[in-house]
Structures are given as C-alpha cells and as structure tokens.
Structure 1
C-alpha cells in the first residue's frame, strides 16, 4: 500500500513551507503527496469582502502552483492537487484519516492565530489518529540541515507508536536520533526537589538513564542504520523541549488519545511545545 502525505494549502507562507517539507518527507519515504485546499465561501457580508469567486480562484491557483514547485523539486514524485468546498477542520481531518502523515503550516512562535494552526490546525492535531506535523514559515526557524530527529519520551508512559515514528523518520532522513527524557524535579518532588542530596539526585538520574537505555535497546537493534543518542535532562519539560528543538530537524512528541466529544485537548506539554518549538513538530497519537 502506497504511503500518502496530505498537506493543507491555503496560500500562506506557512502552508507553502508545509508543502515543501511534505515533498521532502514523501521523497524520503517513497510516498505520494496530496495537496488539499479547503475552500469555505465567506459567510459574512460579502459586499465588504473580495469577490468570493476571485478568492476561490486565487486559492486554487496557489495549490496548483505548490504542486508545480514540488514536482520541480522532486522529479518523479507523485503529486496531486485538489480544491474542495467545505469546512476546513472536518475536511482536513477526513483527509488525515486516509493519510500516513498530515502536514500543516504553523504560525509564528507563541501565537494561536492563523487558518491552519488556529482552531483548524488544533482540531486536526487533537483528533487525528495519524501523525500530524506542524511546519513554520521560512524565517521562523533556524537552519536544521543535518540536525538529528529528536524524540521526547516519557518514561512513565513510553509508546511504541511514538518511538517507531521517530526511528522511521530518522532512518529515512538523517539518520540520527536523539532521545530525550526530561526529568522535572519540581513536578516529581515539589519545591523540595532542589534540596535533594546531590548523590541521591545523581543516583535517581542514573537510574532513569539506564531505564531509558533499556527501552531503546530493541529499537536500536531494529533500526541498525540509525545513530542513537539518549539522555536524561533535568529541567521544566516545556522549556527544555523548546531549547532542545533549537538543534533538531524534527521534534517528535506524543498525544494521548482522549475520547472527548467536544473541545481540542492535546495535553499541556504538547500544546506548549507546538507553540514554542522552532523546528517542525510531529504529534503522534497513542493510547
């Protein structure tokens, strides 16, 4: 079965960057790319808005142009471009259900506005059972050429789906993987954490590092081509992962599946990371 990478395109610089990233992703994995523009006719007073048909045609031209750029960048890559009419969030979520990976544009650091990473992108990330990657526009992120894939792994709830995705990305791209478990002393021991005896603290950290190595042992054997490093980093989870992302080509984080009828809940750490990490962020759902 052919792998499929779906990309949401709306004509913004962020979605153009997402399309370029998706093209590289598809080329690395031997997949095909489906570029999708979801046209939603304006519901407000259109007499004060651009002509709806002209705006629709402009968006259609953007998705076709993105397809031309991808085929020029990757000759031989199978690319389809489509514009459909509907509500963006459910339409993209439906497309994500049939894809191996969905790629969306993400606005500047720290903001929650924007077509694809506002309510629309958050809805897709929160409800998709397949991995979703959020990509910054050029200029919003540092150069990541040759940087490793970084996997943020919670030793309390290690996930095979999350770990496998990270190893597959590293194998196809770099191939180098840095696995980080963040040891938040305050979260575990309260404000008395910093008062832990230094020897006890080092022992606890050493035990966690050994546990992390054990979790990774079967994956190292399975992906022998991937150069793997692992470490336990002490500090606040969100700030530490944002700092680690400065030297990553892709940050892979998890999202626990929650069967909630309304709302978009992805967990406080993952929510903060997708806002503040400078590199592309892959969010992988797991039980």
Structure 2
C-alpha cells in the first residue's frame, strides 16, 4: 500500500467508524497487518467503489484467554492499531469510500465466516506467489474459502490497480483504460445460478467483457455406437457442449444486454485452459459446490495454485 501513499500531504480527518451489527451491503476485507493484506484491502476498496457499497475492514483480535499474561499491549489494542492504520490509509487513497471498521474477537476463521455471511464478498490476501504466479494460500484463507456461504475473493500479494486494466496506447500500465476481461469457469449441465450471477455482475460493474470457459473431456466408452468413429463422437460431444453453454447463458445475456459475452468451449484439462484464459484477466470466477462439503474442488484448487489474477470462489448448489 505504501506505493499509493502520498508523502507531501497530511492525513485526512479519520472518517471511518466502528460498526456493530451493520448488515448493509458491503465488501469486506480481512486484514492482518501485513503488506499482502493491505494489497487485498486496497483491491476490496476499489471493488466497493465499483459496486457503490461501503468497505468493511475486519481484523480479528486474538482471544486473550489464549495469550501470555505478561504483556503491556493486549491483542485488542494491537488489532485496533492495525485497523486504524488501514482505515486511515485507505480513506486517504479513496476519499469517496465509506469505511466501517470491525474488531471481533475469538477464533479467526469463525469470525471471518460470520463476516462473509453478511457481505457481497469477503476479500483475503495470499502469503505470496506459488506455482506459475499463483497463490501461496494460508491455512486461514483456505479454511474460509472452503466453508464460506458467500463469495471469497483471493488477491495475491503485490496486486496493483493497473493490473486490472489493459495497457495504454504506448503499452504502459494504466488505471484509466478499459478493464481486462472477467473470466468465468463454468461446469455443465449444472452451472449454478449464484456462480453465473456473480460473474455477470462483476463484468457489469467494470464495463468489461465476460469470457465464459467450459472444458469438456472424453465421453465414457458407452457413448460410442457400434461402428462410430471416434472423431465423430468427439465432434458430437463438442457440439452438445456448445448448445448446453449457450442455453445456460441465454437468460443472463438478456438480463445483462450491455455485457459482451465470449463463449469458449475447450477439450482437455480444465486447469490448463483456465490458466490460458485467465492470463490477462482482471478477475477469474470459479465455483465451489456446497454439496461436496467444506473443500475446494479440483478446478478452484488448480486456479489458486497457478492463476495470478484475483480469484472469486463462489459457493453454489
């Protein structure tokens, strides 16, 4: 965040408040006092501005019953200091943003899950890069992403505002050029309305195109008719997938007529095609089926390991 901080002007008057029981729409950012956490909070601030909702900053104070007793500064005081610094910094960088600060105590995962249930999205940072530019996901972020009732957005360390925009005419990073595409990974035949809704909404608030990627694999052996050539079976399966995808997206295209939608049907490994599609994207949206229990599916897990852009993990039925 220090790359955004002007050095020649005084801090503005503090304009945030400690929120209790506020259930208004908001984007929530969980912060931990690290630079990576502030990168995620700044992304959350920009998302809140795009959506016209407040930003809710959350820092969990450790349970004092589990802390050593010989300390002059308690966990709540340290949490309050983290919230103060984050809220003041973000209110300076984003003066039009409404910022609410919350300081719950107790188990961190439980507090974040409770906050996620009341938010449009919960935004968390990564510990650093992993894989091919993906995320090194901490245990807290992983546990929350696996269990949350609402979308969880994972933002890698070092994410900058310019990363969401296409370069300018000279090829330089820009904050004023159009947004890069939003990419949606969609499974069929049960795509999940919550997942599609989040992707279309994310594209709409950015004025960005939405690229929908469906990856299919080899049909089972019983799909082959006697004497039918393998290429014919594959061509038939691909055409079926294109029809299914078009049918699933048709009502959403009508609901979001201003959003340009690009449908991509690919054969092969999902992780490979998602990595290609998400290269140069502003956001990747992946699903997590609630019925499978508290875990990330194969697609979401692969995306977290390898994709560099922010990833929204959306629970759906």
Do the two structures share a fold, i.e. TM-score over 0.5? yes
> How many residues end up aligned between the 2 structures?
271
Cα gap change, 1:58 to 1:181, in 2 (>3 Å):
same
Q: How many angstroms apart in 2 are the aligned matches of 1:4 and 1:231?
A: 32
Shift, 1:189, TM fit: 4.3
Q: Say whether residues 1:238 and 2:271 are aligned partners.
A: yes
RMSD between superposed Cα atoms in Å: 2.8
Alignment-derived partner of residue 214 in structure 2: 181
Give SS of 2:73's match: helix
Unpaired runs of at least 5, structure 2:
1-22, 166-178
What displacement does 1:78 show? 0.8
Residue in structure 1 matching 2:150, options 105, 130, 141: 130
Per-residue deviation at 1:37?
0.6
Q: Residue 205 of structure 2 corresponds to which residue in structure 1?
A: 172
Report how far residue 62 of structure 1 moved: 2.9
The correspondence of residues 1-287 of structure 1 with structure 2, limited to 5 A, is 2-40=24-62, 43=66, 53=73, 57-110=77-130, 117-138=137-158, 143-145=163-165, 146-185=179-218, 188-189=219-220, 197-258=230-291, 264-287=294-317
User: How far apart, in 2, do the equivalents of 1:142 and 1:30 lie?
Assistant: 20
Choose between structure 1 and 2: higher helix proportion: 1
**What TM-score does the superposition give when structure 2 sets the normalisation length?**
0.76
Structure 2 SS opposite 1:25: helix
Query: Cα 1:176–1:284, aligned 2, differ >3 Å: closer, same or farther?
Result: same
Cα pair distance change 1:61/1:76, threshold 3 Å: same
CA–CA distance in structure 1, aligned partners of residues 192 and 181 of structure 2 = 20
SS of match in other structure, 2:308? coil
**Distance (Å, rounded) in 2 between the aligned partners of 1:79 and 1:254:** 29
Deviation at 1:142, TM superposition (A): 9.4
Paired residues of 2:35 and 2:157 also in contact (CA < 8 A): yes
Of structures 1 and 2, the larger Rg is shown by 2
Q: Specify every segment of 5 or more residues in structure 1 that has no aligned partner in the other structure, as ranges.
A: none
Structure 1 window deviating more from structure 2 (241-250 vs 222-231): it is 241-250
